[in-house]
Structure 1
Amino acid sequence: MEYYQKLAQRGVHLDTNFQAIKKLWKNKSEESLAEISLPEKILSQTNPYTIHPVLLDACFQGIGITLLEEDQNITYLPIGLDKFTLYENTSHTHLWSHVKLRSRKSSIQHTLIADVEIIEPQGTIIATVEGIQLSPVSPETLFASSQNTYTDWLYGIEWRQKQIFTASSEHFLTPQKISDRLTPRFTELVNKTEITYYQQLLPKLDHLSLKYIIQAFQGMGWKFTENQSLSKQSLTIAKKYQRLTDYLLKNLTEAGILNKIDDHWQVIKTSNSATIERQKQELLKEYPFAEIELTLLHRCASQLAQVLQGKCDPVQLLFPQGDLSTATQLYQDSPGAKMMNTLVQETLSVALETLPQGKKVRILEIGAGTGGTTAYLLPYLNSAQTEYCFSDISPIFSEKAKQKFSDYSFISYQTLDIEQDPQKQGFSAESYDIIVAANVLHATENLEETINHVHQLLAPKGMLLLLENTSALLWLDLIFGLTEGWWRFNDEVRNDYPLISAQKWQKLLIDREFEHTAILKPEQKQGETVSQQSIILGQKKASAPKNWLILGDKDVFAENLVNYLQEKGQYAILSQEIDNLDEFQHIIYLGSLDSPEPSNLTTQDLETASEIGCTNVLTLVQTLANSSTPPTLSIVTRGAVSTETEDILPGLTEASLWGIGKVINLEHTQLNCRCIDLDTKIAPEKQIQALLSVIESTEKETQVALRDDQLQVSRLVRHGKIEPYKLEIPQNEAFKLDISQKGTLSNLELVPTSRISPEQGEVEIKVGATGLNFIDVLDGLGLLPFEREWFGVECVGEVVRVGEGVNELKKAIAF
């Protein structure tokens, strides 16, 4: 089939058994339809499957046809999916796959998302796969060769002491107090000479922008002669730029160049004779500091006609071949950017003035982009008390930032689309004390939903520090307004323009349950002319007392925990029943703490206790899985985990809960599941204090152990250099792998054996390599419920002897 030939040309070679697509169609809207049949060779294998793996793989292959026009050097690998739904439990050999690729949020979004419907021949949908995410990877990354030996592949768990920090947002000043503190400073900055000159420049840049707009319309066929009647229908404008075109025409009308009459425009004034280049040079001479603004404006606006017609990608104008330098200079080094970024930095510093020692602040920057604002903030943050997350929708910006900010050890990088639910992207609710968003939130489709997502990420009393353009600047519209995100708005806050005033931002925050807000303003009215950008602060409400459910038996520890929480003003109950869970914000599972002593433990005791504990937790998770407001879940054990400091583990029967806890973290991230192992040697009150400090902490630690009054966390670390244990190979004779005594793999040995002549239909293979399978490990550890007389399931080697009736394998390589 031609499709598989095209895949092969891109270096993707599929075995014939996996070439199950028989017919394939694609339309221009990035949809595909594939007819799929199970290859004849494996028709007999359908019995155990509802959807055979080969058929399912072919359903996903349909995504590939939508990507064939992408860069041939890029391969897309699936990295996750949102939801799989199976509607019918019947085996099939013939199916149809309908693939729809979701629209990219912007041209710089690299992760692709697709939805797949799996349909039986009569047209009934039997399964859907929603939100398949595919990430691009280059051949260099995919096939990178490594000189590492197998010893570099070995990792182990190491327990390390760590101080657990609790929330710091309760120590911040209110937005109004911060604003009052900084008003004199804002006034001082506004009155600086370079800002005064910059204020004079801005309207002249807008005037130059009018000339670029006229030039663009002329390039598309309009003639700007006096009294000329012009029709928008005569222009070939791409659908996604209709809003931008209307906005440009509105600016020409407000400038007195055009007059709108019904659905036509009449030219009432022609532009003066000064050419764009001449006016640009005059501005550069008068304002030499404006080279970046003029360069970027010319690069983008001179191609305005091509952009409006869909013939030019504006992202390539902003970031040619991925070069962020010019845009970074505008965001970071222009006089206006310097002033506003300095104010953002000083606002953050004032907010953190009252942060006590021993508290850590968690800061998230949304849409950090080129790092223009980040560069002002990081040098003023205390590395010992700060966790800073640099986030953006595009991994390109994060990769550039990693190089730019490599000297800062307290910064992490994460991809975040603030228009989507953050918890589905690996972010925990209420996990940040401060969120910084500089010139980014306006570029989202729905501001109410966006602010809801921001609110969701903020800790109680957490602070939003918002820097936004709050009035129109035509020259900026001809730069950033060419991108799709600028005009995607679709909410009740905005009508025909993506930016809103500072007062509207403030009202929006209040409507979205921010308790305190403030707008940072200079004292003097003339300073408002530079307030095309504004700093708006919003503080989330303090949290109400939490409801705690303690699941377990009525023992002394559980009752003391309930009493401790109640004394702190929290609502807490002890129960063994898993019902009415929606009213709780925290659930602590203590149901397996009553462990039998290891010295009296039988195999049956171990199996029974593990089964009861895991079944209880599994039932709990299944109940919580569909909760609209899931609580946090903490699984508590006592002496169940080895940190390599214990002589014995008194809670051995509880160890299996840690396995299920790890699975919960992978499959139900919304529960923020923690496994916490207490120390039997520590006083109960200290155990309770340590337990609650972990649950209420700002850290995202999911595996914590209390040992010797210290909290320890697990880390996956590369194993130290080890000397490989080599078995001695018998010389000049046949041998086999055996074990002297089952229970440990160190008892494996190679022992001589006699060669057996192959009987009818058999072959003898000289083994070159053999696979170590899980069943072999279980056998060596003595855990199989039956006996085997050999190790090994598969091998690669050379056929050296054959039995009677074997004619085709006399000289062959065996697999």
Structure 2
Amino acid sequence: MAIEAIARIHNELPSNPPIEGFVLADVSIKKSLVIPEDDYGVEVLTSLELVDAQTPAWGTFSISSVGRESEEWMEHCTGRIKVALEGLDDSVEKTAVAPTTQRALDRRVWYEKFAEIGLGYGETFQPISHIRSDPPSNVAVATLNLRSTAGLIKGGESAYPLHPASLDGAIQLGLIACHAGRSEDATTAFVPVQLPRLYLSNNIDDLAGDKCTVVAHGEKRGIRGAHLDLQLLGPNGEVMLDAEGLRCISYSSAAKTTEDRTFSSPFTRLVWRPDIRTLRNGRAREMYPAPRDNVKKAPSWGITNKLAHFLVYSMYMMYGTLPEDDMPKPSGDVGHFFDWIKRKGQSDNSELMQEAREYAKQGLLLNKIGELVSEAPDVIEVQAAKLLHDSMADILFERRTGIDVVISEGLLTPLYKEGLLMTGIYPQLHNVLAGVAHSNTNLRVLEIGGGTGGATRIAMKAFNGPNGIKSYKDYTFTDVSAGFLSGARESMADLRDVNFSVFDIEVDPVEQGYVEKSYDLIIACQVLHATSNMKRTLTNCRRLLKPGGQLVLVETTENFIVPGVVVGTFTDYWSGIPDGRVDAPFQSLASWDRTLKEAGFQGLDVVLDDFPEPHNTTSVILSTVPPEEFPVSGEGTVQVLHSGSEAPALLQHLAQERASSESRVVALFDDGHLLLNASEEDFSRFQQLARQSSSLVAITSSGVAKGLNPDAAVIPGLLRVLQNENPGAQYMSVDIAADNFTIEAAEDQQHFAKCIADYESELNGATPSPPLDDLEGNPKDRELSWQDGYFSVSRHVPDTGFHSQHGLDSRKFKPDTMHGIVVPRSKSSCLFEEYTPSTSIHM
């Protein structure tokens, strides 16, 4: 930027001798400048001050940008610059370094190492090849591709004395030299922060053509520093770039603070939470109603919806009823938006649109619009919608874009950060993701269309505990645009096991290098609707998920007119038109259920809303890939046993579930038969049962999770021992928080029995070694709790406050000194009775 500025000034002089090159000095890089590839970009200011523009004197420059959120200017870089003129500037020394090297290096290995330490260079920014190193002198030499971006940008790129990708390649070689060519020594990423001096030729195209030689010397200094010397040499040894003392610092040290906190407290607490894999939608909606803050905002959302109808009809009257010759004829997305306005104005007979028509006939519509705006002046959507309405002539006649209009009043960032439409659903997204993370603590996660990272931040709060312990194996952040990835990589530098990759969900994932059935969870927040074929999009999602894997969507499903008014002029809003989504890119819940099932999902498993009805607009949708069906050996038998004199009503539902193994046993232990003081005969019966059963489900009715009767905990403890000693069989314990196994509703009884069979089927399909995990280390839940109509699973989570609450010093804590205490109870003589749907027989 500074080079372009001083070159323009020089070329405008009356007498302007040819520029041989440029010299920069005292360059200070203060903060990285992230350039997003989207509609609104970033506003940058380059300032250059020259004492005397008539001579090749030094000028002082600075480069700044305005922050989207703060709207404050931020200075990124400062320094001095001057032009070097042919035959007139003898102050520039251009002595070439002799590129003597010895050892050849593997280019692929080094770019993989760069990606591993956080420098994920795409293909365009991998311009060096034929790398050689001289380890004793910390010098490296390589061939540099000066045209790595050729043909990528439609219409061609701007002119550069040296393309940024080429300069980046030289710095990459400097980092290789810094580590003496040994990739195993590279454990941290370095970024440039200061440059004492740089000379850059203005004739690189004439001197080198497509390729040149780059020579780099590097050395580490101090704990976090590295210094690089770089040269680009032409075919005859001409110096085309000479950088001295480029100082770099490590930026990865901050990322280690999270790891240092891991297991900082040795205490854990056993926490029971709903198993979202079996949670029915009705129960989920009872547990997670519309967030309280959203309930308070709901009236404002109703005003916004009414205002949107009035604005649409106002725009239709102003522009959609003009004579054909005077009517605007916008193209692209704005053309689709105007077609929508005309359709709504002509054929929408909803109550609100009819009201707008009546006010228009009376000449009161604009007055009513002003009244609605005054009723909700702080709602960002209200401000943006009114602004776009008032600027619609410029938009429809394509003098300005909708994005330009919103940015001009500083509303774009607040719209995405504070708007009801965008952020009202975030609390519900957190609830769903926290539930998924609790059910599976070793998730492989793929986020589609991460964009500015709003949903990513919600996910990371759900997946990371206060002790730095995470509930995901790896998290891959993707976007169709590479422009978002650099900003995301910087903002998430402190997170572990986060990958960044370009991904287009409308293209075959395998063709893009992704592996089928490799993820446990896919997150897509307000992104899948912006595709042209929903079935193909969802099919691609399903292909990437493992059996039993889950898809979490955030999508607007109601009140389509509000987003149409607010963002209907933005790029890609109308992508769904080829798929039949003509009036909005969104789908109703019924349509989502249908398309999910067509693509191979189970449909709508859980749906949570942002606002209470009738103001609900956006939903979190959880859908699951059907789990793998494990083969059943023979017909199988089911033995349902109970220890009391009267068979509970639940037993009939348990007995009717299909057997999943040759000898499946379901045994109900009432409070009088918990094996604490079992007689020799009773214990012998239990031993025989455990030996002969290929699958044993032990059910108690003691409310252990609620702390009602801790005696029942002996049953899962005993089954853990059996599982370790006999990994070929499968054991599972279930506790019901009710008296005498009472589950009132028949629907709940059926759901309970079906889920027990599903849990057991998963266990019987698990790899027997190791007994508690599958090959990827995912735990198989063998201890369950049923309460309030849903299953819960337990996890040990760090309890950072335990030692401070009880005055304990965690440094002196010794786990082997903690002992449990159990209180025996008296037992009756009969351990089990066998139940069949027709009779009950004493064993």
What's the TM-score bracket when you normalise by the shorter of the two chains?
0.3 to 0.5
TM-score, normalisation: structure 1: 0.42
TM-score, normalisation: structure 2: 0.41
